[in-house]
Amino acid sequence: MKTFGYTIQNDRQIDFDAADKKLYRYVAEKEPDINLCIFCGTCTATCSAAEFKNMSFRKISLFLRRGLTENLKREIESCMFCGKCTLVCPRGINTRNIIFNIRKGIEEYEF
């Protein structure tokens, strides 16, 4: 049987009902501003770590909301806590504190 070079892709759907939202609730309790984020990307555009690594606060926020803690751990390792993202945020979100609370929550819940 010929395949013509095509293969069946793995399912990439995210099951939001099965996602573990414990870390998101923890961070939202400590820093409720996370709910104000509109994912504009201004924070990522000024990020010092993004110049050297593939870091993005937008990805961090999405991984947190989707409950993807393994991806989240890898992503926040690059943050240098410089605070540029907090300074340029048009909504005034304390992104630095959000990343700090994510790290603290990961240690507390031992993900």
The highest-level CATH class for domain 22-109 is mainly alpha
Q: Write down the domain spans for the chain.
A: 22-109
Mean pLDDT of the chain: 89
Share of the chain above pLDDT 90, in %: 59
In this prediction, residue 17 carries a pLDDT of: 81
pLDDT digits (tens, 9 = 90+) for 12-56: 887 778 888 899 999 999 999 999 999 999 999 999 888 888 889
Quote the pTM value. Answer: 0.81
Instruction: Determine the Cα–Cα distance for residues 83 and 47; give it in Å rounded to an integer.
Output: 9
Q: Are 99 and 55 in contact (CB under 8 A)?
A: no
Residue 1 pLDDT grade (very low, low, confident, very high; cuts 50, 70, 90): low
Q: Are 44 and 50 in contact (CB under 8 A)?
A: yes
